[in-house]
Structure 1
Amino acid sequence: MKERRVVITGMGIYSCIGLNLAEVKESLFAGRSGIQFDEKRKAFGYRSCLTGMVEMPNLKADLSRRQRVSLGEEAAYAYVATKEALQNAKIDQDFLDSNEVGVIYGNDSTAKSVIESVDKIREKKDTTLVGSGAIFKAMNSTVTMNLSTIFRLTGINFTVSAACASGSHAIGMGYQLIKAGLQDCVICGGAQEINELAMGSFDGLGVFSMNTEDPTKASRPFDAARDGLVPSGGAATLIIESYEAAVKRGAPILAEIIGYGFSSNGEHISTPNVDGPSTAMKKALEQAQLAPEKVDYVNAHATSTPVGDANEAKAIASVFGSHKPYVSSTKSMTGHECWMAGASEVIYSMLMMQNEFLAPNINIEEPDESAAELNLVKKTLNKKIDVFLSNSFGFGGTNSALIVKRID
């Protein structure tokens, strides 16, 4: 069977730099940070109290009590992002009811829902008081199980658990299934809860920025003075379809996914290397049958950690050589959205492609030695993008790279 083309037909986003596509586009163009100081973390014992923050959506008008009782924080964010993505793709419930649509979403932990359930049992000494929705909120697959039942989906249904590459691998898996002819349409994305219960052990590793004087300047990927990442979250959803299926239903075709590369570092559990990311990017280029010089822009994974940013800069330089595509890390504005990041950063890059600009890597005063070799975007540029590559890497050495091409 001939491999099929895979296109993006819809997007939805719920982010600390905007609660929908229009708001996020404006923030990206303006180089506006969504980072703030969270007083609750200070009282909780955090060393670093910085975070990207979003409000919990009120879904009473959208969902029944029975549906809401199973929705934890990250699943609620994912519902909002998916609702926008389906509208963006011009897909209604009638279409979902009469077609096999799947869901693959990235989510690698669920802290708040688990802790709240256990605390209630400890207090009451009675498991029956924990509530009927507790188990569905607490599982790592909470997002896919909730989205599949709310939207009555009948296709592929599973969660990708791959640290900070989860959202990217979810898109990659959906892409491969459609390419192989096993699905026509898949809802893909990533979600991350934002609360003090979810990030405590991460804070304890000492990898968060301590720059509390100006939270908006704390996340500074590739800058020589960076001192750590800033956690964040929300949800991002993409609707991906086979080109034939999209044309058949008259869908808005936004772009085409042409490559997905992956690898594992096979070394330290938390310290990234150069070879793993390089391999993922090379595999993506190979699958896309694309020469490196055809890539206009790289949305870097760069989280604002000393070792991670430097090694990614070296990897990008090794893959692209004398061709220096524009590079920026949108995490300079959003912080590190963890399990969501691989999906949201494709959407950020898509918004740049659609609106013909490159969002800046804010907070760069002086690039470090490795980053100095890159063509870093320090201020918003009006620029047409035909092809972009988005990097996502995670704990355990998991790496993912996606390549997306404009369709005119």
Structure 2
Amino acid sequence: MGVISPLGCGVAELWNGLLTGRSGLSRMKDLELVKGLRPRIAGRVPEIKTKAIPRKARRTMSNLSIFAALAALEAIDQAGLDEATLTGGRTGLSIGSTTGSSQALEQFFKLYLPENSLSAIRGTEFFKIMNHSAAANLAQFLELSGRVIAASAACSTGCQNIGLAAEAIAAGKQEVMLCGGTDELHPLTVGTFDIIDAASISDESDYTTASRPFDATRDGIVCSEGAGILVLENYNHAKARGAKMLAEITGFSSLCDSSNMASPSADAIARCMKEALKDAGISEADIDYVNAHATGTLQGDASEAQAIASLLGETPPVSSLKGHLGHTMAASGAIETIATVRMIQENTIIPTANLINPADECSAINNVLHLQERPITYALKNNFALGGINTSLVLRRS
């Protein structure tokens, strides 16, 4: 597993930050420069070592591709994958972002629009803007020759790419898959949620408490950035090379909620989770922990809590990591899955940061308010996106 997040670079930084309750959020000066934009708080990745990626490869990479590449290098190193395994055709990739680089797109139009001219546009800019930029750049950088998937489903992207990678391996198409999601922070992303009244505009005096999933005072999403990359591998292939197995993906579901473009349906969420449990071959009673999508929006958190309560009852502990991290968009499903694997390994459940007073509409679930030491055999991971793209994963202790 590999991570670049607002809590730092690497899985250890992510885990230590979550364990100690550290916030990855801060007040962003550049958001104040945008007229009409109300949010001022976001989660930005701290300084990274970009020179770990050769300059030739970086020429076509925006921040989101750089984040993905650094996370992939950590994951590959931890997995002990050698060059022959990576480049031999049996290793593929399934990674996406919400869009191509917003920073590169802004730069493109700054140069193009004043004179209606392409003369100042570099030939490398398109490779940063194209929707499969992260997947293509990472595949080229690692010299992969297996299949490349670049699923893009906004907030469900990371989770969906993990599930698709698992299915590719289960179908025998690849032995190994690098998978996950990545995104970079840009005022346009924040503005998108502000325009639809889904962004947090409160707590400017204390930015660490701006993101409050399931809480009665929650007022919306706090946008962030980062990348999460996992190495998935066929069991027999991993066993044969003596790989250390961290967890197993046993179930995956990705369904469409066609009832509304922006407001999630509790029934559709429950159906998605139920299908993931069916795919895993387990019952509702087997789930020991739920890592919720819970972004801090009024409707989204309420619908997810209602769905979890209706399907799983009040028994399994439920928490969201967006109080610590903010919403890392396409990266969220992968970063949060990695954190969930660590919870399984450490028999420790991370609470929902800033959840002081659970809202009435979110109180029918077993909200985790404090760090818990508790064994987890099966965990359920949820991610849901605008457009009704719902995803759920089931993870099992290896």
2:8 matches 1:18: yes
The match for 1:67 is 57
Query: 5+ residue gaps in structure 2?
Result: none
Deviations 1:164-206 (A, max 9, x none): 1011110110111111111111100100111224432322222
- State the distance in 2 between where 1:325 and 1:393 align: 20
Deviation sequence 1:273-297 (CA, Å, 0-9, x none): 1111111100000011101111110
Compute the displacement of 1:227 (Å): 0.9
Q: Which of 345, 365, 378 is equivalent to 1:374?
A: 365
1:215 maps to 2:207: yes
> Which residue does the alignment assign to 2:256?
264
Identical aligned pairs, as a percentage? Answer: 34
Cα-to-partner distance string for 1:111-133 (whole Å, 9 max, x where unaligned): 11112112112346542431121
Q: Which residue of 2 aligns with 1:300?
A: 292
Deviations 1:116-169 (A, max 9, x none): 112112346542431121010001100000000000111111211111101111
Q: Which of residues 226, 230, 238 in structure 2 aligns to 1:234?
A: 226
Q: TM-score, normalised by structure 2?
A: 0.96
Aligned equivalents of 2:53, 2:253: Cα separation in 1: 37
Whole-angstrom CA distance in 2 between matches of 1:56 and 1:181: 39
Counterparts of 2:75 and 2:392 in 1: how far apart (Å)?
22
SS at match of 1:80: helix
Q: Does 1:136 align with 2:127?
A: yes
Q: Which amino acid aligns with 1:404?
A: L
User: Would the alpha carbon gap of residues 252 and 99 (structure 1) be closer, same or farther in structure 2, given more than 3 Å must change?
Assistant: farther
Contact 1:106 1:169 in 2 (8 A): no
* TM-score (normalizing by structure 1): 0.94
Residue 163 of structure 2 is aligned to residue 177 of structure 1? no
1:107 aligns with 2:101: no
Distance in 2 of aligned mates of 1:371 and 1:247: 42
With over 3 angstroms needed to count, the CA separation of the structure-2 counterparts of 1:61 and 1:263, relative to structure 1, is: closer
Name the counterpart of 1:405: 396
Pair 1:341 & 2:305 matched = no
Out of 154-163 and 141-150, give the one that drifted further.
154-163
Deviation at 1:107, TM superposition (A): 1.1
- Residue 119 of structure 1 corresponds to which residue in structure 2? 110
Question: SS of 1:130's equivalent?
Answer: coil
* Pairing partner for 2:39 from 37, 48, 70: 48
Asked whether the equivalents of residues 31 and 380 of structure 1 are also in contact (C-alpha less than 8 Å), the reply is: no
The aligned amino acid for 2:163 is G
Structure 1 pair 330/259, CA: closer, same or farther in 2 (3 Å)?
Answer: same
After superposing on structure 2, the runs of 4+ consecutive aligned residues of structure 1 that deviate more than 4 Å are none
Distance, in Å, in 2 between the alignment partners of 1:56 and 1:28 is: 19
* Deviation for aligned residue 1:305: 0.5
Give the Cα–Cα distance (whole angstroms) in 1 for the partners of residues 252 and 149 of structure 2: 19
Name the SS for the 2:381 alignment partner.
Answer: strand
1:181-192 pair list within 5 angstroms: 181-192=172-183
What value does the CA root-mean-square deviation take over the aligned residues?
1.4
Equivalence for 1:250 = 242
How far apart, CA to CA, are the structure 1 residues paired with 2:297 and 2:83?
43
Residue 30 (structure 1) aligned with residue 43 (structure 2): no
8 Å CA contact 1:189–1:340 kept in 2: the answer is yes
8 Å CA contact 2:9, 2:48 repeated in 1: no
What one-letter code is carried by the residue in structure 2 that aligns with 1:348?
Answer: A
For 1:140 and 1:254, the matched residues in 2 are separated by 31
Contact 2:94 2:165 in 1 (8 A): yes
Whole-Å separation in 2 of the counterparts to 1:61 and 1:311:
42
How far off its partner does 1:77 sit? 0.6
Cα distance between partner residues in 1 of 2:341 and 2:164: 19
1:308 maps to a residue whose letter is G
Task: State the secondary structure of the residue aligned to 2:230.
Answer: strand
Task: String of CA shifts for 1:50-91, please: whole Å, max 9, x gaps.
Answer: 101113534234313x21110011111101111101011111
CA distance in 2, matches of 1:24, 1:310: 27
Partner of 1:278: 270
Contact kept, 8 Å, 1:56 with 1:76, in 2: the verdict is: no
Separation in 2, partners of 1:125, 1:192 = 29
Cα deviation, residue 98, structure 1: 3.1
Counterpart check, 1:159 vs 2:159: no
State the one-letter code of the partner of 2:267: D
- Tell me if structure 2 keeps the 8 A contact 1:112–1:197: no
Equivalent residue letter for 2:357: E
